[in-house]
């Protein structure tokens, strides 16, 4: 069975139209989540993320229909379900992670590049192995306060986490539509995809643009994500 929303997206590949395809596929996505893992919200978000990638890689000339292709691409959910276990960070680990984040920002600003794990270890006084473990166990998150305009002292001018499941998908949809430069701005502003959060002037220097442009683009990206989220497109 064809999906009209897919044809509309091919004709006009906007984030909003991509979101409507995901919405049309939601019964299929939810069915696969239940089949592999039960009703786990975190894996529903992962399932939608995988579905976005499946939609973008779908080749209708190969004979398969879109729903079947998406079902095939959701098979990794079984592996994710096995790995998903509650992780409780200790208060000491949370404090160390906060200190690590603070020192990393200061050194990045001072050296105008991201510090190495060894440099961080020397400044904080914990082993490189411990730093890597902290980074794996305590991921950066977007806060509600990050919705406001940022200064060079504030990083992360992107939407806050209200409903992680839907907001993560909104971010995924918009991220897929960004230019390479805007993806770099997004990653450095929000601390995503293994990047450290950086202030506007450092991002601007790295990209060869003005801090004002970085502030403007990060604000526009935030508005795009918020629009997709608020309009219930995911």
The pLDDT tens digits of the residues spanning 29-72 come to: 888 888 887 766 667 778 888 898 899 899 988 877 899 999 99
Q: pTM of the prediction?
A: 0.45
Q: Give the pLDDT band (50/70/90) at residue 88.
A: low
Mean pLDDT of the chain: 76
CB 101 within 8 A of CB 140: yes
In the predicted model, is pLDDT for residue 91 greater than 50? yes
For residue 58, the model assigns a pLDDT of 92
> Once rounded to an integer, what is the mean pLDDT over residues 207-232?
82
Q: pLDDT digits over 184-208, tens only?
A: 998 888 887 777 788 889 999 999 9
Count CB neighbours of 46 within 10 A: 23
- Three-state SS string over the chain comes to CCCHHHHHHHHCCCHHHHHHHHHHCHHHHHHHHHHHCCCCHHHHHHHHHHHHHHHHHCCHHHCCCHHHHHHHHCCCHHHHHHHCCCCCCCHHHHHHHHHHHHHHHHHHHHHCCCCCHHHHHHHHCCCHHHHHHHHHHCCCCCCHHHHCCCCCCCCCCCCCCCCHHHHHHHHHHHHHHCCHHHHHHHHHHHCCCCCCCCCHHHHHHHHCCCHHHHHHHHHHHHHHHHHHHHCCCC
């Amino acid at each position: 069975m064809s999906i009209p929303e897919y044809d509309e997206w091919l004709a006009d590949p906007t984030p909003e139209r991509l979101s409507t395809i995901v919405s049309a596929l939601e019964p299929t996505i939810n069915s696969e989540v239940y089949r592999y893992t039960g009703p786990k919200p975190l894996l529903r978000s992962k399932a939608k993320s995988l579905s976005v990638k499946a939609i973008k890689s779908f080749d209708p000339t190969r004979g398969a229909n879109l729903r079947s292709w998406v079902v095939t691409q959701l098979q990794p959910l079984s592996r994710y379900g096995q790995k998903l276990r509650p992780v409780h960070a200790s208060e000491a680990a949370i404090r160390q992670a906060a200190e690590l984040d603070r020192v990393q920002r200061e050194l990045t600003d001072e050296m105008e590049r991201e510090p190495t794990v060894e440099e961080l270890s020397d400044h904080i006084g914990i082993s490189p192995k411990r730093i890597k473990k902290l980074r794996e166990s305590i991921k950066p998150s977007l806060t509600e306060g990050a919705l406001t305009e940022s200064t060079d002292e504030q990083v992360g001018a992107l939407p806050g986490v209200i409903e992680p499941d839907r907001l993560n998908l909104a971010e995924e949809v918009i991220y897929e539509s960004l230019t390479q430069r805007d993806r770099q701005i997004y990653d450095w502003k929000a601390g995503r995809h293994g990047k450290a959060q950086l202030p506007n002037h450092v991002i601007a220097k790295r990209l060869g643009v003005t801090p004002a442009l970085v502030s403007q683009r990060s604000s526009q990206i935030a508005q795009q994500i918020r629009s997709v989220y608020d309009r219930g497109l995911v």
